[in-house]
Amino acid sequence: MSHILCNLDGQIVDAAKATVSVLDRSFLFGDSIYEVVRTHRGRLFGVTRHLARLERSAARLGFEVPIDEAELRRRIVDLVAALGATGETYVRVVVSRGTASEPNIDPACTVSGPLVVLYARELSPPDPRWRTTGLSARVVDVLRNDRRALDPAVKSGNYLNNILGLMDAKRHAADIALFLGTQGQLTESETSNVWLVHGDRLRTPSLESGILAGITRDYVLEMLRRDGTACEECMLTESDLRTADEVFLTSTVKDVCGITSLDGSPIGCGEVGPVTRDVGERFAVELDRLVEAESSTSS
């Protein structure tokens, strides 16, 4: 198991020695928000957009991140340096609403300000299957949370919906869960956005489908449109998924990851297809450009 280092409200400490109150609302109710950032070639990738989304999630849940972006960024940089990973670094930023006076769901029982915890560990090397044989997926029986219930656009610490879906996928020997929404629309996987290829058409579920506005999803959309590649955000169905020539995912950790089987049957030729490979290769170049640009802006 990799070494995990934490920044607990401003103090760097080994994860094994970090403690949070049993009355913290993140523990009691999943009443928290989070973001995951990582390094690419040793430099932070997409941190500005991640921290902006963290602020939006906090606003949706009715509390504020208690430190400004500059201080949060400084804590991330310091934690990455303290970890001293030989490879790339994974950083998780968690903000809880705070500590409750008792196990009462009412936010009015919160008696402290929000708690900020950062976790850093060495990022595992990319799974070679993401670009070669791909991963397997299952359309799970668990429906994605409706936007009128717990909106997936809020990146909250309440992940039971995702966990239950992934458990369903794993029971059927699949790597990835793909969720349908309450109206039968295709949404996303447990931690990634999904893309479909039909011939020369490249499509991904729209935000109105009930998904998280993925940071990597946004970067890929911007890259494709800048380069003149036609792509569409729209409402997609299970039928669209099952008739796709290629399926791939995008996320902060996976970048571009091929899905080559669905419910035990191959998608297309059963290997990562040419469009997925092309998008993955182009995004690898884009990553270099993005981290260089962000590093220049923040320095």
Residue ending a domain, among 122, 140, 156, is 122
Dihedral of the alpha carbons of 144, 149, 153, 156, in degrees to the nearest 10 = -90
Q: Is residue 297 part of a domain?
A: no
Q: What is the pLDDT of residue 274?
A: 97
Gap between the Cα atoms of 179 and 146, Å rounded: 11
Residue ending a domain, among 73, 93, 122, is 122
Q: What is the pLDDT of residue 109?
A: 98
How confident is the model over 131-138, as a mean pLDDT?
96
Residues 171 and 164 sit within 8 Å (Cβ to Cβ): no
Structure tokens at 83: 């970890």
What sign for the dihedral angle of Cα 194, 197, 202, 208? Answer: negative
Of 195, 13, 25, 190, nearest to 96 (Cα)? 25
Q: What is the mean pLDDT of the chain?
A: 96
Q: What is the pLDDT of residue 129?
A: 94
Query: Are residues 136 and 13 located together in one domain of the fold?
Result: no
Q: What is the pLDDT of residue 297?
A: 73
Q: Is residue 295 part of a domain?
A: no
Q: What is the pLDDT of residue 299?
A: 57
Question: Identity (one letter) of the amino acid at 4?
Answer: I
What sign for the dihedral angle of Cα 12, 18, 23, 27? Answer: positive
Structure tokens at 70: 């500059």
Q: Is residue 84 part of a domain?
A: yes
Of 156, 166, 159, 179, nearest to 32 (Cα)? 156
Q: Is residue 296 part of a domain?
A: no
Residue ending a domain, among 94, 122, 150, is 122
- Domain with residue 70: its CATH number is 3.30.470.10
Query: Are residues 236 and 256 located together in one domain of the fold?
Result: yes
**Phi and psi dihedrals of 233, rounded to 5?**
-100, 120
- Domain with residue 134: its CATH number is 3.20.10.10
| Number of Cβ within a 10 Å radius of residue 70 | 10
Residues 224 and 231 sit within 8 Å (Cβ to Cβ): yes
Q: State which H helix or E strand residue 202 sits in.
A: strand 201-205
Query: What residues form DSSP beta bridges with 205?
Result: 234
Query: Are residues 32 and 83 located together in one domain of the fold?
Result: yes
Which tens digit of pLDDT belongs to each residue from 244-265?
Answer: 999 999 999 999 999 999 999 9
Which tens digit of pLDDT belongs to each residue from 41-66?
Answer: 999 999 999 999 999 999 999 999 99
Residues 176 and 191 sit within 8 Å (Cβ to Cβ): no
Q: Is residue 252 part of a domain?
A: yes
247 Cβ neighbours under 8 A, 6+ residues apart? 137, 194, 195, 196, 197, 241, 258, 259, 260, 262, 267
Query: Are residues 192 and 273 located together in one domain of the fold?
Result: yes
Q: What is the pLDDT of residue 294?
A: 84
Q: How many domains does the chain contain in total?
A: 2
Query: Are residues 132 and 82 located together in one domain of the fold?
Result: no
Of 195, 189, 199, 252, nearest to 224 (Cα)? 195
Query: Are residues 114 and 60 located together in one domain of the fold?
Result: yes
Query: Are residues 212 and 269 located together in one domain of the fold?
Result: yes
Q: What is the pLDDT of residue 13?
A: 97
Q: Is the pLDDT of residue 296 over 80?
A: no
Query: Are residues 105 and 136 located together in one domain of the fold?
Result: no
Query: Are residues 238 and 190 located together in one domain of the fold?
Result: yes
Q: Is residue 261 part of a domain?
A: yes
Query: Are residues 112 and 238 located together in one domain of the fold?
Result: no
Q: Is residue 299 part of a domain?
A: no
DSSP state of 24: B
Enclosing domain of residue 62:
5-122
- Of residues 200 and 279, more confidence is placed in 279
Identify the weakest region by mean pLDDT among 113-117, 188-192, 289-293: 289-293
Which tens digit of pLDDT belongs to each residue from 142-187?
Answer: 999 999 999 999 999 999 999 999 999 999 999 999 999 999 999 9
Q: State the pairing for strand pair 43-45/11-14.
A: unpaired
Query: Are residues 133 and 281 located together in one domain of the fold?
Result: yes
Which tens digit of pLDDT belongs to each residue from 96-108?
Answer: 999 999 999 999 9
Q: Is the pLDDT of residue 119 over 90?
A: yes
Gap between the Cα atoms of 255 and 237, Å rounded: 24
Q: Which residue has the tokens 């059927």?
A: 172
Query: Are residues 133 and 118 located together in one domain of the fold?
Result: no
Which tens digit of pLDDT belongs to each residue from 201-246?
Answer: 999 999 999 999 999 999 999 999 999 999 999 999 999 999 999 9
